[in-house]
Amino acid sequence: MTGKLESGRKVVEGSYAVAHAAAMCRPDVISAYPITPQTHIVEDLSQFVADGAIDSKYVNVESEFSALSALVGSSAAGARTYSATTSQGLALMHEVLFNAAGMRLPIVMTIVNRSMSAPINIWNDHQDSMAQRDTGWIQLYIEDAQELVDTTVQAYMIGEDPDVSLPVMVCMDGFILSHVFEPVDLLDQEAVDKFLPRFTPVRALDPKNPESFGMFVDPEYYMEFRYLVEQAMDASRPKIEDAARKFKSAFGRYYGGLIDTYETDGAEIILVAMGSLIGTLRDVVDDLRSKGVPVGLLKIRAFRPFPIDEIKKVIADAKVVVVLDKNISLGTGEGAVTTEIKAGLHNTDINVPVLGFVVGIGGRDIPVTTVQRIVEKAKDVARGGTVSAGASEFVDVKHDLISC
């Protein structure tokens, strides 16, 4: 049936690209609640279902809480499942996110990253998904529409691996990726069928052999189940790398595994970021390298599990690490990526200064000139300048708007 959707290179909206990719994975059940800027994805998918282009069951619900709950039940019954949400919708799923991970259900969900209220704002930053970083979901952050398509397929392969059996968030920047038209290679159904095996759950609900899923567990056993989730996260590391490599051999495209690097050989200054900002940073690196500035780029593709070993290898010989966070962990004065890299370097023999910068909050533009200014500060530290031990800098904050 899915043959009705055209494949091949087309200029499409990022939202259509991800809807198409999700469709090619043949989800048995889709459930979602529309919310800007995720809406086009679920509209496209419901159109595919209405047109009979895909066989998925589309469950209409009254909230995001119900959308994810419907998928918890479906996934427990052995269905391949898909949803998409953002911001307040993801926050409303918070309780169910823990359940999906704790019940070890490999749901795949696209997060169209958007800021959190208040104040209400529909534009992009990473606060929504970063706030869910402890729920037990694998989190992959995406640079462009093609990576989004290809990673959606990889997400099922990773999450459904029996050694992992965890849900996966594929995080894309709202508007910047969801509403932009780009040339994209839309995947062919036969090729995806060949690449992605059918979902075989570790255990599934079965009326012939009734069992209870999501049991009450007392203190004698609870900690062990949480430990198992952490072990599964750890087991996902090589699976994320494998999925990326297998995808490369099947489709010829590769975006890194847990991380990717760009011009990091001999780099004294290494920029670290996630998501669509990577595109801007590649241009900045190209420009600075052409002027002889030894700057490189580390793209964090998997934020969960956090790839600290891979990061350490890349930054070990650098003079300064610059982290650009599109989120802030309020009360720590810095973004979570900065905090986690610092924590990962503590008690090791790597002693590289880590400079944190909070950027692009609520859709604030991050122009090349802003990044260049940040690199100037990093150069000073690389030359032996002092590093403030304090909080990250809020980049491009308009102090004239703040009365105090």
Partner 1 sequence: MIPHAPIGEAGTTIANKTGSWRIFIPVYHAELCNGCGTCETFCPEGIVHKREGGDTFTADYDYCKGCGICARECPKGAIEMILEEK
Quick one: which segment of 85-93, 138-146, 217-225, 352-360 binds partner 1 (CB under 8 A)? 217-225
CA angle at 219 for the pair 217 and 220, rounded to the nearest 5°: 90
How far apart are the C-alpha atoms of 11 and 9, rounded to whole Å? 7
Contact, 246 vs 194, CB < 8 A? no
By the rule CB under 8 A, 234 interacts with partner 1: no
Q: Which of 52, 119, 198, 224 binds partner 1 (CB under 8 A)?
A: 224
DSSP bridge pairs for 109: 83, 169
Q: Which of 212, 249, 351, 386 binds partner 1 (CB under 8 A)?
A: 212
CB of 285 to partner 1, least distance (A): 43
Two tokens, residue 65:
């809480």
By the rule CB under 8 A, 225 interacts with partner 1: yes
Place of tokens 């479906």: 74
Phi and psi dihedrals of 91, rounded to 5?
Answer: -60, -40
Would you tell me the crossing angle of helices 368-382 and 277-290 to the nearest 10 degrees? 60
Quick one: which segment of 64-72, 179-187, 203-211, 362-370 binds partner 1 (CB under 8 A)? 203-211
By the rule CB under 8 A, 219 interacts with partner 1: no
CB of 22 to partner 1, least distance (A): 24
How far apart are the C-alpha atoms of 213 and 195, rounded to whole Å? 30
Phi and psi dihedrals of 81, rounded to 5?
Answer: -130, 155
CA atoms lying within 13 Å on the CB side of residue 82: 26
Two tokens, residue 63:
């909230």
Quick one: which segment of 98-106, 141-149, 260-268, 368-376 binds partner 1 (CB under 8 A)? 98-106
Q: Which of 120, 228, 343, 387 binds partner 1 (CB under 8 A)?
A: 228
CB of 158 to partner 1, least distance (A): 16
CB of 105 to partner 1, least distance (A): 8
CB of 107 to partner 1, least distance (A): 13
By the rule CB under 8 A, 213 interacts with partner 1: yes
CB of 216 to partner 1, least distance (A): 8
CB of 180 to partner 1, least distance (A): 39
Quick one: which segment of 207-215, 332-340, 362-370, 396-404 binds partner 1 (CB under 8 A)? 207-215
Q: Which of 3, 197, 214, 385 binds partner 1 (CB under 8 A)?
A: 214
Q: Scanning residues 136 to 175, which ones bind partner 1 (CB under 8 A)?
A: 165
Two tokens, residue 199:
């979902």
Q: Which residue type occupies 134? A: D
CB of 218 to partner 1, least distance (A): 11
Please give the size of the binding site for partner 1, defined by CB under 8 A: 19
Q: Which of 104, 126, 237, 319 binds partner 1 (CB under 8 A)?
A: 104
How far apart are the C-alpha atoms of 202 and 104, rounded to whole Å? 9
Quick one: which segment of 102-110, 188-196, 309-317, 346-354 binds partner 1 (CB under 8 A)? 102-110
How far apart are the C-alpha atoms of 204 and 197, rounded to whole Å? 17
For residue 278, CA distances in Å to 43, 109, 131, 296, 324 come to 28, 22, 21, 11, 10
How far apart are the C-alpha atoms of 178 and 41, rounded to whole Å? 8
| Residues forming the site for partner 1 (CB under 8 A) | 102-104, 165, 202-203, 210-217, 221, 224-225, 228, 232
